[in-house]
Amino acid sequence: MKRRSVLLGALALTVAAGTTATAAPRAAAGRRVVVYYQTQYTNGRYVTPLDLTRHRTGVTDVIVAAVHLNDLNGPYAPVHLNDDPPSAAKFDQMWRDLKTMQGQGVHVLAMVGGAAPGSFTRLDTEFGTYYPLLRDFIRKYGLDGVDLDVEERMSLAGIERVIDALRRDFGPDFLITLAPVGSALSGGGNLSGFDYDRLYRDRGRDIAWFNAQFYNGWGGMASTSSYDAVVRRGVVPASKVIAGTLTDPSNGGSGYVTPARLKTTLRSLVAKYPDMGGVMGWEYFNSQPGGTAEPWRWAAEVSSALTAAR
């Protein structure tokens, strides 16, 4: 994802013995409506995610962004959520609200990485030092999953080691997702260093879905063509491809499409691929058409489009 202003950092993780399991989440269960939630405050006002359930939008997954693993020898806490430790008082209400949403059936995940580099380099080259930090963060906040947004070079062996450790420590129902640029799933440009085709062939059973970024020149949602290219590639099934889009033209780059155009594309996708995974929006706080006053409306409208297309 294109992060708006994110502390450069990286998270630390280590393998610890935990729950072992051989089964893993398979395809996304039904069509998902996924919302990234990075901006928790705007103009000093707290942005609650609870409006997504209060207004019965159909949201299925909220991804808190962005978690970073920082250099242990640096000036910052080892784990940061944006510019602060996740335990900072400013996040207390957020964690309570997200726990409430979990009780209402919404999955809460944390996004690791993004445009700020370092987290995945550390996981790749100093896994034993940094993985435990990620593991302990996930346990502390009772998360349902983690979204691995690798926008820096990482080895295939390194990302597979992270996936294997998460599966081992959190069991078969824990959601492991990735957020590649859309073209990385269709044989084109890629920000991650490793080959997603190979990753899916090796670890596809452990990957719940991909939050594919169809914007910023890596694809688009003005038509079905970018999504079609992924399906045509024949590696990742439509059931595990979430169509990602910007929710406002100011959210980090190019490729924004209006809600009306997006809904038309989504209806066409569902008609073509009845098992398509769903839609993802970056990011929540200013989502159109409601803007900062009613950002929940984006989720309600795309959910309606996915449902009407059935």
Domains of the chain: 32-308 (3.20.20.80)
- Write out the E strands in the chain: 32-37, 41-42, 45-46, 61-69, 79-81, 107-113, 145-149, 175-178, 209-213, 241-246, 278-282
What pLDDT score does 25 carry?
A: 34
What pLDDT score does 251 carry?
A: 94
Listed residue (183, 231, 174) closest to 206, CA to CA: 174
**Is the pTM higher than 0.85?**
yes
- Asked if pLDDT for residue 141 goes beyond 90, the answer is yes
Q: Which helix (H) or strand (E) holds 165?
A: helix 156-170
Listed residue (3, 16, 9, 124) closest to 72, CA to CA: 9
What pLDDT score does 177 carry?
A: 98
Distance CA(108)–CA(91), nearest Å, equals: 15
The predicted-structure confidence for 285-295, as pLDDT tens digits, reads as follows 999 999 999 99
The predicted-structure confidence for 86-105, as pLDDT tens digits, reads as follows 999 999 999 999 999 999 99
Contacts of 275 (CB under 8 A, 6+ apart): 27, 237, 238, 239
Distance CA(120)–CA(126), nearest Å, equals: 10
What pLDDT score does 1 carry?
A: 67
What is the mean pLDDT of the segment spanning 252-266?
95
- Structure confidence at residue 121 as a pLDDT band (50, 70, 90): very high
What pLDDT score does 253 carry?
A: 84
What pLDDT score does 309 carry?
A: 53
- Asked if pLDDT for residue 37 goes beyond 80, the answer is yes
- Asked if pLDDT for residue 204 goes beyond 80, the answer is yes
Got the DSSP string for 5-18? S-------------
Contacts of 139 (CB under 8 A, 6+ apart): none
- Asked if pLDDT for residue 300 goes beyond 90, the answer is yes
Choice among 5-19, 167-181, 185-199, 211-225 with the minimum mean pLDDT: 5-19
High-pLDDT (> 90) share of the chain, %: 87
